[in-house]
Amino acid sequence: MFCEQVWSRIQPLLKETLNHPFNRELSAGTLDQDVFRFYLVQDARYLADFAKALAHAAAIAPAPDDAAFLAGSSANVIVVERGLHERYFARYGLTGLDDIPTSPSATAYNNHLLAAVARGGFGPLMATVLPCFWIYEYVGNAIHTEQTGAANPYADWIETYADPGFAESVARAKDITDRAAATASPAERRRMVDAFVRSSEYEWLFWDSAYRRERWPTVSLTA
């Protein structure tokens, strides 16, 4: 199966993702609040393009049931995940976010999503969006099992991605992707593998760039 193949391929990357200082400190509740604020801003902007990619996948899905799931997922990104962001925004008093630029890595990931929409092909698009579902479930569940009951300021984030309902959505997205791969040509399946791996790499880069509060190195040259 396609999902088994690509998941096996990224095992070293998954290990490094889980062991990244951002996720280690998130799990311990010690992540610097300024780092998490920076992450929230980047993630809110990413989710806007992720929702667009899911909506496009819904529009070109061969099966009506899959189209309905993907359309619902696009709506959930806006309703559920943006709701999570807004709660944290309120907690941290985050307003006037335009003065925080989208980081280079976040910009690249967003463009990767939109390029998959522009290139066309249902299978490659599903392979592009799947890591955001799957890796967040993987990290969320791993972190959730480490919780000791002590108050963690990031508990809402952890619970969202360790939720059984989210796991059901991940399973459905994997099933859709496997079925798309089963009918794909060899060339299209290679595109799917490449898209999945690159999105997985961007997931690591996204957390890493947030941890470093990555800035454009050319900012002083364009001010």
* CATH at residue 52: 1.20.910.10
What digits encode the pLDDT tens for the residues 79-96? 776 777 777 777 777 665
Distance (Å, whole) CA 36 – CA 74: 24
- Within a domain: 140: yes
Domain count, the chain: 1
Average pLDDT on 202-208 reads: 98
39-55 core/surface letters (b: 16 or more CB in 10 A; e: else): bbbbbbbbbebbbbbbb
Q: Is the residue at 182 inside a domain?
A: yes
Asked whether residue 56 is domain-assigned, the answer is: yes
Residue 221 included in any domain: no
Is-above-0.85 flag for pTM? yes
In a domain? residue 206: yes
Taking the C-alpha atoms of residue 82 and residue 150, their distance in angstroms, rounded to an integer, is: 26
CB proximity list for 154: less than 8 A, separation 6 or greater: 26, 29, 31, 36
Report if residue 170 sits inside a domain.
yes
* Rounded Cα–Cα distance for residues 15 and 13 (Å): 5
DSSP state of 217: T
User: What is the mean predicted confidence (pLDDT) over 197-211?
Assistant: 98
In-domain check, residue 219? no
Residue 108 to residue 202: CA distance in whole angstroms: 8
Q: For residue range 89-143, what is the model confidence (pLDDT) as tens digits? A: 777 776 656 678 999 999 999 999 999 999 999 999 999 999 999 999 999 999 9
Span 25-41, mean pLDDT?
92
Residue 220 inside a domain? The answer is no
Q: Which domain holds residue 36?
A: 2-214
